Amino acid sequence: MLLTCGASWTAAEVDANSEQRLLEWQTKQAASVLSTAVMLIEQPLGTALSVQQAAPARGSEAFTQFMSAYVGPESTFVSASLWRRQGEAVAPLVETGGRPLLEPSSPAAQTYVAEAFGHQTATAHRIDSGAEARIVWVRADPAADLAIYAERRIPADRRAAVDSDSAYANLTYAIYLGPEVTAEALTTTDADPSDLPLRGVTSQETVPFGHTVLTLVAAPRGHLGSDLSRWLPLGLLLGGVLLTVAAARTGHRLARGRWDAEQDASTITALYEQVEILYGEQRVLFERLQRALLPHAHPVMSDLEIASRYVAGSRGIDIGGDWYSVVALDDHRFAFVVGDVSGRGVDAVAVMAQARFTIRAYLLDGQRPGAVLQKCSHQFDIEADGHLITVLVGIGDTRTGEVTVANAGHPAPVLVGGVARPVEVSPGRPLGTGPSWYEETTIRMPPGSTLFCFTDGLVERRDEDIDAGLRRLGTTLDRAASDPLDHLVSHAVDTLRNDDAPDDVAVLAFRWTATP
C-alpha cells in the first residue's frame, strides 16, 4: 500500500516534471528564435558602421545607401541617422527614413548616443510618445567617433505579430525589455495584458538585447508537444542556431575586413565582395531553415507515386515562402497542398509555416478542400501580416483516381497524360484578401497520368505574358510525359527555370499508377 502510494506519487511527480521540462525546452527554443530576430535587427547597424568607415571618401552616401534597405515604414527601422562625436558633444551628420520620435537635438537623443560610446555592443532603450512606442538602437564606434542611431516601432497594442514565429505556437508569452517583469517593461505579448504577469507553470529565459536583455516569460497553452508542432520548433531551433553562428561569423569577418580596409584603401572593393560572399553564406543558412520546414518524406501509398522539388530563387539573401505537402488521410485517400506566400524573408516563412499547419490541421480534421480554404480565408489578413497567400488544396482517392481541388488564386495544376493541359479550376481569391468562398473541382485522372502542381516562379517571366510561360510548361511536360516521375519533375524544373530567375520554385507532382 505504502509502496503503491509512493510509486504513483513518483509517477505524478515525474509527469509534472516532464511538463515543466517540456515548457523549459520550448521556452529555450522561443528564446533562440527571439535572439536570432534581435541579431538580425542589430546586424545592419554594425555593418553600416563598417561600410561607412571603409569608404570615408564617399561621405555619408555609403551610410544612406546601405541603410536604405533597412529603413522605411515597413522595414526594420522607421528612421536612422549617422552621428559624429566631437569632444564631448554629439551631432547628427545625416538622417534617413521617417521622422524620429526623439528630436536629434533633444537631451534624451543626445544622452543615448553619448552613452553608446561607452558600450561594446549596441544599446537599446524604449521610448514612448503618446500611443507610439519605439525602441531606440545606438551602435557606436569610439575609435572612429561615429555612431548610428535607429528607431524601431513597437506595435501600439503590444500584442504583436512580430514574434508570432511558430516556436511560440504552444506558448502564451510576454516579452519584457530589461531583467524586470513589470507592466512598464512589457514590449510584446500574445496574452491579454490584464492576465499579466503570467501565472501557474511558467518558464523564463533572457536573451541579449543591445546593452540590456529581453526577458521572455512563457506559459503552456493547452497541452504541449502536440503532434502538429513536434518537429517545427526543432526546425526553427536548428535554423536559429545556424543563423546565430552565421551572424557571429559575419560580424567577426567584417571587423577583420574593416581593419584591412583601413590599412589600404584599395581593399574597399574586396570588402564589398566579402560582404557579398557573407550574404551568400547567410542565404544558404536561410535556405536550410526553409528546407527544414518542407516535408522530408512523402507518405507511401499503393498506386500512387509522389515527387517534389524546391529550388530557391537567385536574388537577394531572403528566402521565399513557397511550400508543398502531402498527407495520408487513410489507407486510400491523401490530401495535398501547394502554396506561395508573397514577399520574402523570415516573415514570409513564418506566415508560410502558419498557413501550412493551419491547412494541414483542417485537412486532418476531415474538412473538404473548399471548406479548408473558406475557413482559412477568415484567418489570414494582408493588413495584419503584409502577405498574400495563393494555395491549391486537394484530396485524392487512390482507388478511383479522383482528385477534388479548391484554389485560392494559385496557378492551376496541369494534367499530364495524353496531351498535357491545365485543369480548369476557377480560382477564388488568395488568402489574406478577406473572407471568401471557394469552388471545388473534381478531376478524374486516367491510369498512368500525372497531376503536376507548381508555384508561379516556374512560369513567370518579366519579359512575356504569363500564358507564354504556361504554354512552355505544357510543351515541356508533354515531351517527358512517359518518363519516370522524378525525371519528369527534374526535367521540367531544369528546363523552365531561368538561371537568374529571382523567384523560388516549388513543384509537387503525383502519378496514379493503377492499371485499368
Interface residue with other proteins among 343, 364, 368, 421 (CB under 8 A) is 343
**Span between the terminal Cα atoms of the chain, in Å:** 66
Residue whose CB is less far from other proteins, 321 or 417:
321
Least distance CB 235 / other proteins (angstroms): 24
Least distance CB 454 / other proteins (angstroms): 13
Whole-Å CA distances, 228 to 68, 156, 169, 396? 39, 31, 10, 22
Amino acid in the structure at residue 360: R
Residue whose CB is less far from other proteins, 239 or 428:
428
Q: Which triple of cell numbers denotes residue 175?
A: 516579452
Strand partners, 213: 208
Burial of 78 (0-12, 13-18, 19+ CB in 10 A): buried
Residue owning grid cell 529565459: 205
CA distance 25 to 203: 9
Interface residue with other proteins among 387, 416, 474, 506 (CB under 8 A) is 387
Contact predicate 454/309, CB 8 Å: no
Least distance CB 347 / other proteins (angstroms): 12
Pick from 232, 199, 270: which is nearest to 54 by CA? 270
Determine the interface stretch with other proteins among 52-60, 133-141, 295-303, 424-432 (rule: CB under 8 A): 424-432
Determine the interface stretch with other proteins among 77-85, 204-212, 398-406, 426-434 (rule: CB under 8 A): 426-434
Determine the interface stretch with other proteins among 28-36, 148-156, 227-235, 404-412 (rule: CB under 8 A): 404-412
Amino acid in the structure at residue 408: A
Least distance CB 341 / other proteins (angstroms): 8
CA distance 411 to 388: 14
Interface residue with other proteins among 116, 218, 335, 388 (CB under 8 A) is 388
Under the binding rule (CB under 8 A), the answer on residue 448 touching other proteins is no
> What single-letter DSSP state applies at residue 130?
T
Residue 109 main-chain phi, psi, to 5 deg: -60, -45
Binding mask 187-206 for other proteins (x = CB under 8 A): --------------------
Under the binding rule (CB under 8 A), the answer on residue 424 touching other proteins is no
Residue whose CB is less far from other proteins, 113 or 458:
458
Under the binding rule (CB under 8 A), the answer on residue 435 touching other proteins is no
Residue whose CB is less far from other proteins, 116 or 373:
373
Least distance CB 425 / other proteins (angstroms): 10
Determine the interface stretch with other proteins among 186-194, 223-231, 235-243, 408-416 (rule: CB under 8 A): 408-416
Interface residue with other proteins among 56, 197, 225, 386 (CB under 8 A) is 386
Coil vs helix vs strand at 289: helix
Amino acid in the structure at residue 403: V
Whole-Å CA distances, 474 to 282, 338, 358, 422, 465? 36, 19, 32, 8, 15
> Considering only residues 294-333, where is the footprint of other proteins by CB under 8 A?
none
Under the binding rule (CB under 8 A), the answer on residue 428 touching other proteins is yes
CB atoms within 10 A of CB 143: 8
Q: Give the binding-site size for other proteins (rule: CB under 8 A).
A: 36
CA distance 79 to 374: 39
Residue owning grid cell 538602437: 137
> Considering only residues 487-506, where is the footprint of other proteins by CB under 8 A?
502-503
Amino acid in the structure at residue 12: A
> Considering only residues 453-472, where is the footprint of other proteins by CB under 8 A?
456, 460, 462, 465-467
Determine the interface stretch with other proteins among 112-120, 224-232, 278-286, 422-430 (rule: CB under 8 A): 422-430
> Cis (ω within 30 of 0) for the bond into 369?
no
The beta-carbon contacts of 196-202 under 8 Å, at least 24 apart in sequence, are 198/172, 198/173, 198/174, 201/19, 201/20, 201/23, 202/23
Residue 101 main-chain phi, psi, to 5 deg: -70, -35
> Considering only residues 344-363, where is the footprint of other proteins by CB under 8 A?
344
Under the binding rule (CB under 8 A), the answer on residue 432 touching other proteins is yes
Under the binding rule (CB under 8 A), the answer on residue 97 touching other proteins is no
Contact predicate 471/269, CB 8 Å: no
Q: Which triple of cell numbers denotes residue 366?
A: 476531415
Determine the interface stretch with other proteins among 19-27, 112-120, 284-292, 339-347 (rule: CB under 8 A): 339-347
Determine the interface stretch with other proteins among 72-80, 155-163, 250-258, 298-306 (rule: CB under 8 A): 72-80
Determine the interface stretch with other proteins among 103-111, 127-135, 252-260, 379-387 (rule: CB under 8 A): 379-387
Residue whose CB is less far from other proteins, 240 or 428:
428
Under the binding rule (CB under 8 A), the answer on residue 74 touching other proteins is yes
Residue owning grid cell 523560388: 504
Under the binding rule (CB under 8 A), the answer on residue 409 touching other proteins is yes
Least distance CB 72 / other proteins (angstroms): 6
- Which are the contacts of 432, defined by CB distance < 8 A and separation ≥ 6? 380, 381, 382, 385, 387, 388, 389
Listing DSSP states for 304-316 in one string gives EEEEEEEE--SSS
Under the binding rule (CB under 8 A), the answer on residue 156 touching other proteins is no
- Site residues for other proteins per CB under 8 A: 72-75, 340, 342-344, 382-383, 386-388, 390, 407-412, 426-430, 432-434, 456, 460, 462, 465-467, 502-503
